Amino acid sequence: MARKEQTGSDALPTLGVGMVGYAFMGAAHSQGWRTVGRVFDLPLRPALTAVCGRDAAAVRDAADRHGWAFAETDWRDLIARDDVQLVDICTPGDSHAEIAIAALAAGKHVLCEKPLANTVAEAEAMVEAADRARARGQIAMVGFNYRRVPAMAYARRLVAEGRLGALRHVRVTYLQDWLVDPDFPLTWRLERKHAGSGALGDLGAHIVDLAQYLAGERLVGVSALSETFVRERPLLAGASAGLSGAGAAPGTVGRGAVTVDDAAVFTGRLASGALATFEATRMAAGRKNALRLELNGEKGSLAFDLERLNELSFHDHTEAAASAGFRRILVTEPDHPYLEAWWPPGHAIGYEHTFAHQARDLVHAIASGTDPAPSFADGLQVQRVLAAVEESAEKNAVYTPVPD
């Protein structure tokens, strides 16, 4: 599945990577692919073979900036390349299923950004294609990069070792503020036909996956509310959404309807009976990328804040009350997950490192033929939770108390 390339006595087989999409997430994935082989000992050598986008000049510029050898303007041409063995999908959700299924049918490995798809039906079709491809030795993985934060991976280790005992509560919030301004323009992330959902799919997918990953069990029920606070936004020239005509800001051509949620809050129950609470919003003024979580168990608790990415808070409830309390663990030791390849203890790493870790794990899975984590089936399960949250939010009524 990988092409052999002789570069000396220590030559490795080359894994040609082709990436579809080159904006924010494409840049992050490029950083991971460009870095991973220079840091970790790998069984295959990732090569940044080709990147694809519809704008020829823009994709060529992205290829030059991020180190891709070739630029394509049609993803079908990228998939057809003999020097591409892995297709990395960093496009809006409405194209995930079509590209992934075609890539798998063409014999390629696939990495697909989260959420896996825009609908459960699309995700199911992707899992079916991945299952067929798995029988041929191909790997299909979904990109939940926050699993690869060393503190998160270490937290999972502590839970799996029983350090928290039976879980009682899981709390996760993901707060951003980039939509607070009502004159922020209508982008693809605000249109259901492209994004599938709003804060729920964009941020909620991450926190659902993290809650289940850390707990080591799945959600079995949810109850939800959601809201779209700004229902129309300015349309930039060339935008495809329908116009309302009135109130157009300078440089815009009218206003278009926002067709996704701005925020979602929901509760859940894990298979063990533990309770979970979730909040995802892009309307929390002052919060840029505030992902926070806490797990409470019978023997202890864990807490994490993405804005303090190298730290984990741990409370051991089996210690004497007089000296017990939350303690700060600086997750930079070489025996913490992924950190053996980076810097001396105490030297922090950042957000971009999670994509190198993701690439590392995927390359090892491809070389060894082992099942990836998270798989497309894991992505489908998250998609089913998101669909259940949407259904619950649509049905839930808000009751006003009767005045005294």
Domain ranges for the chain: 3-145, 150-308+310-349
The β-bridge relationship of strands 109-113 and 86-89 is parallel
The CA distance from 1 to 17, in Å, is 12
The CA distance from 309 to 336, in Å, is 13
Q: Which of 18, 51, 54, 113 is nearest to 238 (CA)?
A: 54
Q: What is the CATH number of domain 150-308+310-349?
A: 3.30.360.10
Give the CA distances from residue 43 to residues 37, 175, 253, 361, in Å, rounded to whole numbers and listed in that order.
10, 38, 53, 11
Q: What is the pLDDT along the chain (404 residues), one digit of tens a residue?
A: 454 444 433 589 999 999 999 999 999 999 999 999 999 999 999 999 999 999 999 999 999 999 999 999 999 999 999 999 999 999 999 999 999 999 999 999 999 999 999 999 999 999 999 999 999 999 999 999 999 999 999 999 999 999 999 999 999 999 999 999 999 999 999 999 999 999 999 999 999 999 999 999 999 999 999 999 999 999 987 654 333 333 344 566 799 999 999 999 999 999 999 999 999 999 999 999 999 999 999 999 999 999 999 999 999 999 999 999 999 999 999 999 999 999 999 999 999 999 999 999 999 999 999 999 999 999 999 999 999 999 999 998 666 676 66
Could you confirm whether domain 3-145 is CATH 3.40.50.720? yes
The CA distance from 102 to 75, in Å, is 10
The answer to whether 354 and 145 have CB atoms below 8 angstroms apart is yes
Q: Residues with Cβ < 8 Å from 10, sequence gap 6 or more?
A: none
The model's pTM is: 0.92
Q: Same fold for the domain at 3-145 and the one at 150-308+310-349? A: no
Residue 13, Cα to own-chain centre: how many angstroms? 28
pLDDT at 404: 61
Tokens of 114: 């989260």
In this structure, what are the phi and psi dihedrals at residue 292, rounded to the nearest 5 degrees? -135, 145
The answer to whether 109 and 79 have CB atoms below 8 angstroms apart is no
pLDDT at 4: 43
pLDDT at 246: 37
Q: Residues with Cβ < 8 Å from 150, sequence gap 6 or more?
A: 310, 331, 332, 336, 337, 338, 339, 349, 357
The answer to whether 381 and 205 have CB atoms below 8 angstroms apart is no
The CA distance from 100 to 379, in Å, is 13
pLDDT at 243: 31
Residue whose tokens read 């460009």:
34
